[in-house]
Amino acid sequence: MLQVNFIRENKATVLEGLAKRNFANAETIIDQVLTADENRRATQLELDTILAESNKISKEIGALYKSGQAQKANILKEKTGQLKESSKELSEKLNVFSEELDALLYQIPNVPHPSVKAGKSEEDNENIFSEGTIPDLGENALPHWELAKKYDIIDFELGTKIAGAGFPVYKGKGARLQRALINYFLDKNIEAGYTEVQVPHLVNTESATATGQLPDKDGQMYHATVDDLYLIPTAEVPITNMFRGNLMQETEFPICVTGYTPCFRREAGSYGAHVRGLNRLHQFDKVEIVRIEHPENSYQALDGMVEHIKNILRELKLPYRILRLCGGDTGFTSALTFDFELFSTAQDRWLEISSASNFETFQANRLKLRFKNSEGKSELAHTLNGSSLALPRVLAGILENYQTADGIKIPDVLVPYCGFDMI
């Protein structure tokens, strides 16, 4: 979440950024934040003054008892009792103001980076890069859901029988290709300097709140209510929370972590060709990259993440483009996001397969993730993450773009991982 000091000192900048996001009632809620903060600070000052006076009197009482002036000491003891009662009331009042302030801050999204343009939806995103050749598949090209059925590699109906729509079953060479992609992505990330981890697939409320999924996406996550745990929507959540509450040294930067997890999202479920097959799922696999960076280096790191994802798509020889998201399409926690989209030739449309984002201090403030700067002062770190890559639509793109009259050719770079070159 945004820091109150930043809001107080940069109100105009914050309002300008929130306007890019079309954030409703921005000025009203910012004014409420500042009022709540003023009340909190005034109450804190009053409480600190009373506590200081109480400590001072306590020392005087001790001195009076030692010097045999018990009567005077007892009079002062009565006063400390009054001060304790006042401090208790002020502490309760302070808690109310603090909770009110936090509740307001949780509603406010991150301020977009200056390069982010204003916009309302994905139609306003900027296409900043494209690469790769879109293959000419002819008139008989099939979408991936028909290819999956033809070659018996993904069974959507069986998944519906077991769990419901949005939970496919991968079979035979389909399952092996899925596993090959996971291993290939992880190997590429490790080669680039990321440390692999295996993390829990469920997280507690503190973790989901720290990375910004709660309360913003409450209702979009699967919630195991008996244990109050959430199935993760992405590995970003448990991986980033590995560093929650840490106080780091500058010499520890950068921290680069990668991990594979299944991901669970309840928001899938609309109808139409744009969500058929693997286009949108409730459960899917993804390999994630997460970075903890010094604020001075975070945007250079973001550029490096973008180049890393580019290299993977070049090796897969898939046509793709990169979009810089507009304010209205940028995620709640992100300051700047680049989306990667793969061209699905059989569907004649672009499919999002990855995003790389810099959250600046927004997550770190919730995480209480800090470092000691060169002056020895505590400062918030920057957090970043990216999909490297989300598997369903990459798999869909491979099936569609690599289809031939004889079957589906496997990209050369994946053959050693698959153990076969054709489905």
Give me the residue spans of the domains in the chain.
Answer: 4-105, 122-418
Band of the pLDDT at 115, cuts 50, 70, 90? very high
Q: What is the pTM of this model?
A: 0.91
Residue 322, marked binder: no
The least confident of 54-68, 181-195, 197-211 is 54-68
Say yes or no to pLDDT of 268 above 70. no
Residue 270 has pLDDT above 60, yes or no: no
When pLDDT is averaged across residues 349-353 and rounded to a whole number, the result is 94
**In the predicted structure, residue 67 carries a pLDDT above the cut 90:** no
Instruction: Flag whether 157 is marked binding.
Output: no
The response to whether 324 counts as a known ligand-binding position is: no
**98 annotated ligand-binding residue:** no
Q: What is the pLDDT of residue 70?
A: 80
pLDDT at 68: 83
**Is 315 annotated as belonging to a binding site?**
no
**Tell me, what's the pLDDT at 414?**
98
Region label for 204, one of left (φ > 0), alpha (ψ between -120 and 50) or beta (otherwise) = beta
Give the CATH class of 122-418: alpha beta
Is 27 assigned to a binding site? no
The larger pLDDT score, comparing residue 79 to residue 284, is at 284
- Is residue 347 a contact partner of residue 273, using CB atoms and an 8 Å limit? yes
Q: Shortest CA distance to 177 belongs to which of 402, 404, 406, 405?
A: 402
Residue 273 binned pLDDT confidence (cut-offs 50, 70, 90): low
**Stretch 39-66: mean pLDDT:** 90
pLDDT band at 237 (very low <50, low <70, confident <90, very high): very high
On the question of pLDDT at 156 being above 60, the answer is: yes
- Residue 80 confidence (pLDDT): 81
Q: pLDDT band at residue 328, thresholds of 50, 70 and 90?
A: very high
Residues 6+ apart with CB under 8 A from 317: 132, 411, 412
Q: Which tokens hold the place of 198?
A: 């295996």
pLDDT at 82: 86
What fold does the segment set 4-105 form as a domain? Helix Hairpins (1.10.287)
For position 35, what pLDDT does the model report? 97
| Structure confidence at residue 272 as a pLDDT band (50, 70, 90) | low
Is 267 annotated to bind a ligand? Reply is yes
Q: Average per-residue pLDDT in the chain?
A: 94
pLDDT for res 267: 73
Q: Consult the annotation and say whether 354 binds a ligand.
A: yes
